[in-house]
Amino acid sequence: MPKAEVGQTIGFGRLSVFRALARHDRPRKAMVRPTAGVTLIEMLVVVAVIGIIVGVSAPSVSAGLDSVRLASTGDAIASFLNGAVTHAERSEQPVEVVISLTDGTISADGADGFARRFHVPQGITMDKVLPELGEFESGNRQILIVPGGTAPAIGVEYSNRHGGRRRVELDPMTGFPRVETVNTK
C-alpha cells in the first residue's frame, strides 16, 4: 500500500481504523448504579432474622443469669456466715444469727453493737435450714455463735425458679462454710 504524503487524503477504510484505535485511548466512564439503598423488603427480612435470633437466645440468657445469681448467692451466704463466726472469735462476744425463710433474710447481731443483714436476691428462695427440726420448725431459726466454742453445724438450702438448688453449710470442725450443689433426683 502506498504511503500517504502530507496534504494527501486518506481513504475511508483507513480512517475507521484510526477512529477505533483512538476510542481505546480515551478514559472510560465508571458505570454508576442509578439508585443506591435498601428496599423495604430487604429491611423487613433483616429485622425478622434478628427477631428470630433474639427469640431463640432469650431463654438461655435468662437461665444463665439465674445460675450466676444462684452461685453469687451461695458465695454471699458463705461470706456472711464466715463473717459472723469471725466476729464472734475476734470480739470474744456471742453473735446471734437469725435465718428467716419467710422473709428470705439472714441477720447477725452481736452484744457489742455488731449488726449485719443479708437479703437473698430476687428470683432466689431460701427453702430450708439444716438440720431440720421437723414439727418444731417455724419461719425463723435462731443460732448462737459462741466465741471459743465449736461452730454450729447449720446449713441453708436455696433454689432458683429454674430448679437449680444449692446448700451452704458451716463445717463444725473448721468453722468455715462450704457451698455445694444439691442433686434433686
44-94 pLDDT, tens per residue?
999 999 999 999 988 888 888 888 999 999 999 999 999 999 999 999 999
Please report whether residue 6 resides in a domain: no
User: What is the per-residue pLDDT across 148-177, written as a single tens digit (0 to 9) for each?
Assistant: 888 888 999 999 988 889 999 998 888 889
Question: Tell me, what's the pLDDT at 151?
Answer: 86
Domain count of the fold of the chain: 1
Residue 173 lies in a domain: yes
In a domain, 156, yes or no: yes
Whether the full predicted model's pTM is greater than 0.85, yes or no, is no
The pLDDT assigned to 87 comes to: 93
The pLDDT tens digits of the residues spanning 115-161 come to 999 999 998 999 989 888 766 666 788 999 999 888 888 999 999 98
Residue 32 has pLDDT above 80, yes or no: no
Domain assignment of residue 133, given as a range: 41-181
Query: Does residue 35 lie within any of the structural domains?
Result: no
CATH label of the domain that carries residue 70? 3.55.40.10
Has residue 57 been placed in a domain?
A: yes
**173 φ, ψ to 5°?**
-80, -45
Let me know the angle formed at the C-alpha of 146 by 145 and 150, rounded to the nearest 5 degrees.
85
